[in-house]
Amino acid sequence: MVSSVGLQAPAAGQGLKRAFDIAVALPMLVLISPVMLVAMLAVRLTSPGPAIFSQLRVGRDAVPFRCHKLRTMAAGTPSLPTHEAPPAAVTPVGRLLRRSKLDEFPQLWNVLRGEMSLVGPRPCLPTQTELIEHRRHQGVLALRPGITGLAQARGIDMSDPALCAHTDWVYLRNRSAMLDLRILRATFFGGSVRVD
């Protein structure tokens, strides 16, 4: 395993990433707001409960925050990692939102608040202690969590905490503006992301 010593990004690099996050998130929120309103209406009309689902997640430096998503599961579903949630709990509209990635777009608000970045390790639940400890040991908790990340672009979910955390560490070690752009492209348009 690898510690976080020597892997912190320079302040200028962090500032550039933050500026990029804001420059992308703000206009995106404005542009997609009509689509979001339609999606929220679809959620409300097809299943009881709120359209926006807010869940406590582990953020940068292990500080908890409220992560926002469009609700894709039936109201009252236990707070579980996505890979552990029963498939039957996902609503028909929720399946469509997940396939199109629209359910993640409320997290742009988390990006504007500085709680998340466009690209980074996906935020986990406080109950996912094994993943948290792997990330802590490898210095990954120093990063803002992302709407998408290298693990997601590679099809790796949190069901394998060690592999997920290691992939997050690979991102930490190699992060750059170009890598972020490649991960965003792979997330929305498909394709692989190699890191040498």
- So what's the pLDDT on residue 190? 83
Please tell me the pTM assigned to this model: 0.86
The token pair at 32 is: 């997609």
- So what's the pLDDT on residue 167? 97
Tell me the per-residue pLDDT of 164-190, one tens digit each, with 9 for 90 and over: 999 999 999 999 999 999 999 998 888
In the predicted model, what is the mean pLDDT of residues 70-99?
87
What span, in angstroms and rounded, lies between the C-alpha atoms of 41 and 157?
29
- Residue 56 in 3-state DSSP? strand
Q: Which residues of 41-56 are buried (b: 16+ CB within 10 A; e: fewer)?
A: ebbeeebeeebebeee
User: Taking all residues of the chain, what is their mean pLDDT, rounded to a whole number?
Assistant: 90
What percentage of residues in the chain have a pLDDT greater than 90? 76
How far, CA to CA in Å, does 56 sit from each of 28, 66, 98, 150, 156?
A: 24, 5, 19, 22, 22
- So what's the pLDDT on residue 171? 97
The token pair at 65 is: 């925050």
- So what's the pLDDT on residue 3? 42
Q: Are 59 and 144 within 8 A, CB to CB?
A: yes
Please report, for the chain, the start and end positions of each structural domain, with discontinuous segments joined by +. 12-189
Which of 60, 58, 57, 146 lies closest to 107, judged by CA? 146
What percentage of residues in the chain have a pLDDT greater than 70? 93
5: pLDDT strictly greater than 50: no
